[in-house]
Amino acid sequence: MADPISEAKAQEATQNYAFRNATLEDIPALSSMIENSLRGLGKDHYSQLELDGSIGFLFGPDTLLINDNTYFILHPVASPSVICACGGWSFRKTLYGADTAPGRMPEKRNPEKDRASIRAIFTHPEWARRGLGTMMMRYCEGKARGGGFQRLEMGATLSGVALYEKCGYTRSGKNDVVKCPNGEGIRIVHMIKDLEADS
């Protein structure tokens, strides 16, 4: 894998893409895009049954993030409706998961002692491997920093772990296995990162 940070910075320099806040009207398109991302990019890490059980249950839009204005869409400058990548951050205690996922914790985190969470970063397969997912991650990290947080955490999909490690995240040693309605268990890897003062 090439250096993802360098790829993201190169894309940022082109100014061919722009960010916008996701809205509730985007939910159908986001649901479709997240499914396409998981089925296209996650098939080497999750079985067909695991994907079938988790998409729309564990993986999908979180309307609380949208209402908090902390979930974003990356799109070509000329096409705001095209979702190349999506992702967000959160000052709430829920670490990952769609509205329907278990373990929702809407309580707020304290920047003095808690980590902000980087949430639900997905890239559409047609736009993959161009640095756009990392570009989204960097944008979300900047927004979390702007929200007063210097330390981050995430619940990473298996397909994202290698990329996030290259972007400075480390495995904390915690792993979750989320039981889906069809009985499949989805493994989520807990990862952490401390932001550098000059990044």
Tokens matching residue 15: 């100014």
Q: With contact defined as beta carbons under 8 Å apart, do 195 and 145 qualify?
A: yes
CATH 3.40.630.30 applies to domain 4-97+107-194? yes
Model pTM score: 0.93
Token pair 């808690």 is found at: 114
Distance, in Å, from the CA atom of 167 to the CA atom of 152, rounded to the nearest integer, reads 12
Of 75, 96, 98, 89, nearest to 139 (Cα)?
A: 89
For residues 141-149, give the mean pLDDT. 97
Of 189, 169, 170, nearest to 178 (Cα)?
A: 189
Most confident stretch, 7-11, 13-17, 89-93: 89-93
Helix axis angle for 132-146 and 4-14, nearest 10°, is 80
Burial 1-28 (b: 16+ CB within 10 A, else e): eeebbebbeebeeeeebebeebeeebbe
Give per-residue pLDDT as tens, 97-133: 999 999 899 999 999 999 999 999 999 999 999 999 9
Delimit the domains of the chain by residue range.
4-97+107-194
Give per-residue pLDDT as tens, 65-87: 999 999 999 999 999 999 999 99
